[in-house]
Amino acid sequence: METCGSVISLRFNQDHSCFTCAMETGMRIFNVEPLVEKKRLAVETVGSLGTVEMLHRTNLIAIVGGGALPKYAENTVLIWDDLEKRFVLELTFTLPVVGVRLRRDRIVVVLRNQIHVFSFPNVPQRMLTLDTRDNPRGLCEVCPSSEKPLMVFPAHKSGSLQLVDLNLLEPDISTSPVTIKAHQGELACIAINQQGSMVATASRKGTLIRVFDTTKRVQLAELRRGADPATLYCINFSHDSAYLCSSSDKGTVHIFALKDSSLNRRSTFQKMGFLGQYVESQWGLANFTVAAECACVCAFGPSTNCVYAICVDGTFHKYVFTQDGSCNREAYDVYLDIGDNEDF
């Protein structure tokens, strides 16, 4: 994600009720609705940070050093316990950490060519190490539901996605990897829904988003973000999986209908070829724009028909959309100007 000012990276927590800011000046965590600061760790305590990951709304927070003034090495994951006000766990690797994902029972650490899975939180034990293709963006997502311990990440073949059941981790048992061929080019963005039943992917071309059933491994939808290539920053499902949103460097957040795809706008493209086939493409139900110069992450609110966009320029946007495709801004704020509130 491109940086803009002091914000290095942004992440929503598992239910999108909070978001984290890894910053040159430390760490800040905000509640989304209402928009208030919940936690701040200054640069004197943690240094500048590249990654901050929450475990739902618990007291455990994962951080990785980064930026211009790191206090901790970029190959180390630290777990901050906000009840004890101290670091309670440190995991160090031979290479820089490019991503961390937390479940209530697992911690997943992503390196450029490996993914390490540990039991969590009591005395973490390494359960599995997976070699991966080069993964500089740290693409990896885990299903937050305890009912579906699923992890997804780029498979060895370009454009493919690998699925791993985290309950079936037996290091000594060799099994064939479960993969989905999602795109021709390298993956740029992946998302998993709350139930773990669907996964969404986009390639570095950024024109199409594809949605797959994780059990049957069949494509459920092909959604067109646009005709021009773009860098996708974020894809997220609504809590009920009826909708999907995406953000890109075009500065537009697109909203697609999944449950009732007839709500999406449609157009027909002619494919080049001897038969001149036509293929139907689903365009977004609605969209809104933010500053194209600064990256943003997007997610749905609890009411499903509202979408938040959090930008690295410090701005917060809330839009409400209707089934006929209208989309109106309901709130705007500069979250970096909001003071702290220690009541979590």
Residue recorded with tokens 């885990």? 142
Question: Per the domain annotation, does 343 fall within a domain?
Answer: no
How many helical (H) and strand (E) elements, i.e. helices and strands, does the chain have? 1, 30
Taking the whole predicted model, whether its pTM rises above 0.95 is answered as no
**pLDDT band for position 122 (cuts 50, 70, 90):** confident
Average pLDDT, the chain: 91
Question: Per the domain annotation, does 225 fall within a domain?
Answer: yes
The answer to whether 248 and 234 are in contact (CB under 8 A) is no
pLDDT in tens, 163-190: 999 887 655 555 678 999 999 999 999 9
Average pLDDT over residues 205-231: 95
Question: Per the domain annotation, does 294 fall within a domain?
Answer: yes
Question: Per the domain annotation, does 342 fall within a domain?
Answer: no
The pLDDT > 70 percentage for the chain reads: 91
Which comes out higher in pLDDT, residue 271 or 318? 318
What is the residue range of 132's domain?
7-337
Tell me the CATH number at 103.
Answer: 2.130.10.10
For the chain, the domain total comes to: 1
Question: Per the domain annotation, does 2 fall within a domain?
Answer: no
Average pLDDT over residues 296-302: 96
